[in-house]
Amino acid sequence: MVVILKPKTSNEAIKKITGELEALGVTVNPVIGTEMSILGLVGDTTRIDPSYIEANPNVERVMHVQEPFKKANRLFHPENTVIDVNGHTIGGNKIAVIAGPCSVENKEQIALVADEVKKCGASFLRGGAFKPRTSPYSFQGLKYEGLELLNEAKAKTGLPIVTELMSPYDIETFVEKADIIQVGARNMQNFDLLKELGKINKPILLKRGLSATIEELLMSAEYIMAGGNEQVILCERGIRTFETYTRNTLDLSAVPAIKKLSHLPVVIDPSHSAGKWWMVEPLSKAAIAVGADGLIIEVHNDPQKALCDGQQSIKPDVFAKLMEDLKVIAGAVGREI
Amino acid sequence: MVVILKPKTSNEAIKKITGELEALGVTVNPVIGTEMSILGLVGDTTRIDPSYIEANPNVERVMHVQEPFKKANRLFHPENTVIDVNGHTIGGNKIAVIAGPCSVENKEQIALVADEVKKCGASFLRGGAFKPRTSPYSFQGLKYEGLELLNEAKAKTGLPIVTELMSPYDIETFVEKADIIQVGARNMQNFDLLKELGKINKPILLKRGLSATIEELLMSAEYIMAGGNEQVILCERGIRTFETYTRNTLDLSAVPAIKKLSHLPVVIDPSHSAGKWWMVEPLSKAAIAVGADGLIIEVHNDPQKALCDGQQSIKPDVFAKLMEDLKVIAGAVGREI
Amino acid sequence: MVVILKPKTSNEAIKKITGELEALGVTVNPVIGTEMSILGLVGDTTRIDPSYIEANPNVERVMHVQEPFKKANRLFHPENTVIDVNGHTIGGNKIAVIAGPCSVENKEQIALVADEVKKCGASFLRGGAFKPRTSPYSFQGLKYEGLELLNEAKAKTGLPIVTELMSPYDIETFVEKADIIQVGARNMQNFDLLKELGKINKPILLKRGLSATIEELLMSAEYIMAGGNEQVILCERGIRTFETYTRNTLDLSAVPAIKKLSHLPVVIDPSHSAGKWWMVEPLSKAAIAVGADGLIIEVHNDPQKALCDGQQSIKPDVFAKLMEDLKVIAGAVGREI
Amino acid sequence: MVVILKPKTSNEAIKKITGELEALGVTVNPVIGTEMSILGLVGDTTRIDPSYIEANPNVERVMHVQEPFKKANRLFHPENTVIDVNGHTIGGNKIAVIAGPCSVENKEQIALVADEVKKCGASFLRGGAFKPRTSPYSFQGLKYEGLELLNEAKAKTGLPIVTELMSPYDIETFVEKADIIQVGARNMQNFDLLKELGKINKPILLKRGLSATIEELLMSAEYIMAGGNEQVILCERGIRTFETYTRNTLDLSAVPAIKKLSHLPVVIDPSHSAGKWWMVEPLSKAAIAVGADGLIIEVHNDPQKALCDGQQSIKPDVFAKLMEDLKVIAGAVGREI
């Protein structure tokens, strides 16, 4: 941590603040400049709150040197984390494809889509039972019935289930009924929910918030990991920018960034990022080329009748063709699907 | 709602989609252009999900005409909503000042600050008992003990309490111990929490999410109101932009925008937006000049020792001076403090 | 300047890089940490390009300590700069109001508007002769004829002229025909134009780019000042964010920020920022309350017939009423109009 | 174009505004709703300025239906534009790789880099002679001497030259000395420069502005094309967002978006977008997978000694390896390098 002092801070004041900082358990190395002076802090600074130091009237600002996350940090865990769900892995050489409808609508729909994506080579089934919607008047999901229908589809296809949790009240049910619990972008900094998820033994798919930095995403993973649950899969799903042509702007550079900073697996959601079904194909290819560990794709048997996000869902035949193309791209970067 | 069709959509296809749209309970008026055609939808479109229509392969895109919120809409509720809390109002001619420390730290601190802000003319006491923090290793608040200390301060000063709720588990406790329940920026789209808050009878201070549009903020208010609780106070606290000099960019134009779109009161948080204590004064003045109904300001007796956000807290003497200045500004715009 | 080294950089490598940095004319103070080490650079670092240092494979990143601007920096020029144009000042106690139409359309229009704004107390006349338009098919301004009409209006009213320059070819003409030369947001980093403007003796109104940081705005001012022309007025006119309700998001916190960092005057453009005429009034009031030195407001005698930006122009009677209100706000912050 | 009227606009007012709109040369189809009415405009609306209509007090807002660009629009030019420079093409099946240093530094450097990138299979040589720099105190390029050195390198390698123009004064020189004239991100809306470039017969590489939408980029291309020069190559180089880990956020979804909207070729700049040399490899792969027509990559023989942007330049041996990898990816998407 580096503390920049205000111009013309007196030696006496520097001495005083040095003492206060050392009381926090770090060593302070002052660098006295002509216009400004800085203090270099050596030691474990992850538990020091920068705003505490910035409140000092002699402090101009505080800059991080080390990343503020530890358990998610590749520095202390150099090898990749590989999550294993009943033999299906995320984070290893094989690219994981999670596919299924935006929301579970009825028994036939989820059974049919599950069957189709399984045939095409998907290794996980996605489907929303509890749906976060901007409008209280939109379809909110089949809820517990949706979870049951997902489990019926799993029973037939063997595909593990990825589905979104919205309330801490449902954690026990999800531990029983889901294989990977998804935390949506809008809940990425619902810290109370993250803490609860830190106490369970179940992989978490944590989506990046609409305007969360990569560091904040990793800090949210750290919340879960600090509680004891180290099975976290990160998901880039587009960030909010000024561009309005796409629903969100997919930040593919987040993949090499996260790979450098952390050992956790990263998957890409090309459906929500663009919000346009015809962009799913090029963005999925790019995601694999850039080094993602998996994809989470919306597939619907009849997008025009979909109860949500039909405009960004692809049909099973498009998905089948896409999976063929993705195998070639995966091969080109030394991986398999 | 306006539906833009793809170029070269056939008459037959237009007829078919018209039929499908009318089945949703609206009247469809087609406008056939040379390059493109559009369909004008007349009727109650608030319950129609645009993505449902966009999934149609002949549809280019769908545009809102009416706002998607109803209960929060000034169109259907022309007069201002005024929230009354034990005789202290928000939304009327008098500007409400909510002041207090970022977090409740101990009995002496909250008692002292409550006393000071009361003396200066604040009408509500703020103070965090449950703290949303980016890092799991930062101070997380005194929790239930914090609520008790707030109530002790209230007993002495008579100031109603504004404090943040983070988990649905605590709603009952907050209904009992808080006068206004704050929903933080990071929970603005925690829809499950919003639904629960729609069922209680207690004013809610809803903070705008870091990257939430004004429309999304109003849709979140709509979630609470749709459940039956119409006592919602909106709070602009800075949005996330590319600028890094300030912690967030305070969007003061949101005040006249919300005033036009909605009848709900709006308050400004100048402390979190800038993240710098010396900006609280000019931004508070600007907030009143632009038409805000209130301010929520961080005041701390000893910012350098504050357990959180000390760098953005002002001292009681600065607050006292500020209140004097604000009275003059309020008078200049025909209001009082 | 602080140089953060990569974790595990050897002592030998630190020694080597220290030597290279000292060759750039600075003193290097190393702070050796357990996980990471940093180098504190003391001396004049404004001429060191951080990317040069970042290219070193042992360097993690480089952080500024001092601002990279000098002539625009308040540190080296503590008192406010006041620009004097024929006795009308910008930057002093009196708030400067620059008013007029988006574009000069014809002799009658500019004469009439000039007359009206003069009567209401504006001290400068604005009006575009050369118009930057997103579409090549939109009205591009009356060009040289527009400059002449502005000068006729000036002859009658005595109001100095503020008008936008788009091409270096026209600098000589503008030196003769304009009193303050405006550089538009889209040209804020047209460095060749800035360099040319550094060579003349005429005040420059430099608008902040749509996505320019405050520091970048000051660096663009520095370009002009480094050339010898120190009469620069900065203008905040809204930045581009994700919010679409307003055309841009007015960043009023930029005013206290610039006032702290620089001695240059700052004016606010409430017309372009919101893009809605009915927001001009509240945003103008807020601008004065927050400490701006002036306003630049679009006034048109018949906005519905305006050849550009009619939706954000106010009529003379609205302007007259606004000026009355602004006098009260100015008084409330100890200034006059 | 769709005109949304204010709620409660009278029939008389609708009749009046209809007449005014028809006077602009379009047919008006009214859709009268219960809460709001809209007017559908049929005909050529590209020359109608929406702000003109929005200035009408009965108009709520105006929405585009058709894109405002014509010459750049795929609707009127369905086949891809292929730019041919001395037999080297951009926009066809072969992916064009433009490589070279950020800036030309001296004869040996540019000769050496040109030779290396040629050997690895690059088809164009890039190199800045005139450099847009944020700071007036940074190296500004070798200018005319740089152009000469580029031409010497071209004479030896046969690689056509891509280099940035900053001032209209230099257009004639660039027509003679450059093969493709680059317009930098900061000049994307320097409309006077664009107009001048519309008059020449030389391909233009137009970089997307830091906060320019895809539509604005296409409108800037339209400026050049409207003048008669239809040889425009678009370049996505990262946009400005809230994320600070990367210098800019590369928007790869812009590639399929532009391909749908326009017939012009698109290239990706992976060096400027991330600002980190180790991200060039994954982002280049992703760019080809997503469908880009080319890449523009910074290669430097000695990045640590580079006079600019060394931190984002790759060495010739890294470039050689990258080109091998890219051939495989290109093959996987049915293209060649």
The pLDDT value recorded for residue D285 is 98
Cα-based torsion angle of the residue sequence D46, D51, D53, D54 in order, rounded to the nearest 10 degrees: 140
pLDDT in tens, B257-279: 999 999 999 999 999 998 999 99
How far apart (Å, rounded) are the C-alpha atoms in residues D81 and D72?
Answer: 10
Pairing label, strands D37-42, D2-5: antiparallel
Q: Does position C300 have pLDDT exceeding 90, yes or no?
A: yes
Backbone φ and ψ for A90, nearest 5 degrees, come out as: -130, 125
Nearest to B243 among C251, C260, C332 (CB): C251
Q: Which residue of B has its CA nearest to D38?
A: B40
> Contact A249/D239, CB-based, under 8 Å?
yes
C211 Cα to chain A: minimum distance (Å): 10
> Which of C59, C167, C315 would best serve as a mutation to test chain D binding (most D beta carbons within 10 A)?
C167
**Neighboring chain A residues of D273 at a CB cutoff of 8 Å:** 253
- Pick out chain D residues at pLDDT < 50: none
C152: Cα within 13 Å, side-chain hemisphere: 15
> Which of C52, C187, C307, C315 would best serve as a mutation to test chain D binding (most D beta carbons within 10 A)?
C52
Q: Work out the angle between the directed axes of helices B280-290 and C254-261 (0-180°, nearest 10).
A: 150
D27 Cα to chain C: minimum distance (Å): 20
How far apart (Å, rounded) are the C-alpha atoms in residues D174 and C131?
Answer: 26
pLDDT in tens, A62-89: 887 778 899 999 989 999 999 999 999 9
How far apart (Å, rounded) are the C-alpha atoms in residues D273 and D289?
Answer: 17
How far apart (Å, rounded) are the C-alpha atoms in residues B80 and B255?
Answer: 13
Question: What's the CATH fold of domain A74-332?
Answer: TIM Barrel (3.20.20)
Nearest to C42 among A2, A34, A63 (CB): A34
DSSP B189: T
The pLDDT value recorded for residue C29 is 87
The first and second tokens of residue C1, run together, are: 């300047």
What letter represents residue D15's amino acid?
K
**Neighboring chain A residues of D279 at a CB cutoff of 8 Å:** 253, 256-257
The H or E element that residue A53 is part of is helix A50-54
Query: A262, A297 in Cβ contact below 8 A?
Result: no
**Neighboring chain B residues of C289 at a CB cutoff of 8 Å:** 282, 285-286, 288-290, 329
> Which of C192, C216, C299 would best serve as a mutation to test chain D binding (most D beta carbons within 10 A)?
C192
The first and second tokens of residue D328, run together, are: 């495989």
Q: Which residue of B has its CA nearest to D5?
A: B65
How far apart (Å, rounded) are the C-alpha atoms in residues D21 and D99?
Answer: 51
Q: Which residue of B has its CA nearest to A45?
A: B137
> Which of A311, A312, A315, A318 would best serve as a mutation to test chain B binding (most B beta carbons within 10 A)?
A311
How far apart (Å, rounded) are the C-alpha atoms in residues B50 and A262?
Answer: 38
Cβ neighbours of residue D176 under 8 Å, at least 6 residues apart?
none
CATH class given for the domain over A2-63 = alpha beta
The first and second tokens of residue A3, run together, are: 């503390």
The angle formed by the CA atoms of residues C147, C151 and C157, to the nearest 5 degrees, is 140
pLDDT in tens, A20-46: 999 888 889 888 877 778 898 888 787
Q: Where in chain C is the domain with CATH 3.30.70.1140?
A: 2-63
Strand partners, B180: B162
Nearest of D169, D159, D4 to residue D88 by alpha carbon: D159
How far apart (Å, rounded) are the C-alpha atoms in residues C50 and B219?
Answer: 45
Q: Does position A179 have pLDDT exceeding 90, yes or no?
A: yes
The pLDDT value recorded for residue A60 is 86
Query: D37, C293 in Cβ contact below 8 A?
Result: no
Nearest to C311 among D47, D54, D133 (CB): D54
The pLDDT value recorded for residue C55 is 85
The pLDDT value recorded for residue C57 is 86
**Neighboring chain A residues of C4 at a CB cutoff of 8 Å:** 65
> Contact B191/A186, CB-based, under 8 Å?
yes
Q: Does position C52 have pLDDT exceeding 80, yes or no?
A: yes
**Alpha helices, DSSP H only, in D140-291?**
144-157, 171-177, 191-197, 214-226, 254-261, 270-274, 280-290
How far apart (Å, rounded) are the C-alpha atoms in residues B296 and B233?
Answer: 12
pLDDT average, residue stretch A207-224: 97
How far apart (Å, rounded) are the C-alpha atoms in residues D218 and D232?
Answer: 10
User: How many angstroms separate the Cα of D69 from the Cα of each of B285, D46, D66, D266?
Assistant: 44, 7, 9, 17
Query: A43, C34 in Cβ contact below 8 A?
Result: yes
The pLDDT value recorded for residue D296 is 98
Q: How confident is the model at residue B7 (pLDDT cuts 50, 70, 90)?
A: confident
pLDDT in tens, B195-238: 999 999 999 999 999 999 999 999 999 999 999 999 999 999 99
Nearest to D246 among A253, A273, A290 (CB): A253
> Which of D62, D103, D137 would best serve as a mutation to test chain C binding (most C beta carbons within 10 A)?
D137
Complex-level ipTM = 0.94
**Neighboring chain B residues of D32 at a CB cutoff of 8 Å:** 42
Using H for helix, E for strand and C for coil, what is the string for chain C? CEEEECCCCCHHHHHHHHHHHHCCCCEEEEEECCCCEEEEEECCCCCCCHHHHHCCCCEEEEECCCCCCCCCEHHHCCCCCCEEECCEEECCCECEEEEECCECCCHHHHHHHHHHHHHHCCCEEECECCCCCCCCCCCCCCCHHHHHHHHHHHHHHCCCEEEECCCHHHHHHHHHHCCEEEECHHHCCCHHHHHHHCCCCCCEEEECCCCCCHHHHHHHHHHHHHCCCCCEEEEECCECCCCCCCCCECECCHHHHHHHHECCCEEECHHHHHCCHHHHHHHHHHHHHHCCCEEEEEECCCHHHCCCCHHHCECHHHHHHHHHHHHHHHHHCCCEC
How far apart (Å, rounded) are the C-alpha atoms in residues D1 and D21?
Answer: 11
Q: How confident is the model at residue A47 (pLDDT cuts 50, 70, 90)?
A: confident
Query: D255, D287 in Cβ contact below 8 A?
Result: yes
Nearest to B257 among C215, C246, C253 (CB): C246
Interface of A with C (CB under 8 A): 2, 4, 7, 29, 31-36, 38, 40, 42-43, 63, 65-66, 75, 211, 240-242, 244
What letter represents residue D233's amino acid?
I
Mean model confidence pLDDT for chain A = 94
Nearest to D241 among A241, A273, A325 (CB): A241
How far apart (Å, rounded) are the C-alpha atoms in residues C236 and B238?
Answer: 17
User: How many angstroms separate the Cα of C91 from the Cα of each of C72, C239, C254?
Assistant: 14, 23, 16
Query: A163, A126 in Cβ contact below 8 A?
Result: yes
What letter represents residue D209's amino acid?
G
pLDDT in tens, C169-204: 999 999 999 999 999 999 999 999 999 999 999 999
Residue with tokens 């593990």: A160
The pLDDT value recorded for residue D6 is 87
pLDDT average, residue stretch A271-292: 96
Sheet holding A59-63, edge to edge: A27-32, A37-42, A2-5, A59-63
**Neighboring chain D residues of B36 at a CB cutoff of 8 Å:** 65-66
How far apart (Å, rounded) are the C-alpha atoms in residues A42 and A276?
Answer: 49
A173 Cα to chain D: minimum distance (Å): 36
The pLDDT value recorded for residue D258 is 98
The first and second tokens of residue B287, run together, are: 């907030």
C158 Cα to chain D: minimum distance (Å): 30
The pLDDT value recorded for residue D224 is 98
Q: Does position B36 have pLDDT exceeding 80, yes or no?
A: no
The pLDDT value recorded for residue B189 is 97
> Contact A38/C2, CB-based, under 8 Å?
yes
The pLDDT value recorded for residue B24 is 87
D185-204 burial, b for 16+ CB within 10 Å, e for fewer? bbbbbbbbbbbbbbebebbb
> Contact B134/A167, CB-based, under 8 Å?
no
Nearest of B286, B280, B288 to residue B315 by alpha carbon: B280
B156 Cα to chain A: minimum distance (Å): 29
> Contact C329/B289, CB-based, under 8 Å?
yes
Nearest of A215, A213, A220, A214 to residue A204 by alpha carbon: A220
Q: Where in chain D is the domain with CATH 3.20.20.70?
A: 74-332
How far apart (Å, rounded) are the C-alpha atoms in residues D50 and C311?
Answer: 9
> Contact B65/D4, CB-based, under 8 Å?
yes
pLDDT in tens, C79-110: 999 999 999 999 999 999 999 999 999 999 99
The H or E element that residue B14 is part of is helix B11-22
How far apart (Å, rounded) are the C-alpha atoms in residues C205 and C98?
Answer: 11
pLDDT in tens, D151-202: 999 999 999 999 999 999 999 999 999 999 999 999 999 999 999 999 999 9
Q: How confident is the model at residue B46 (pLDDT cuts 50, 70, 90)?
A: confident
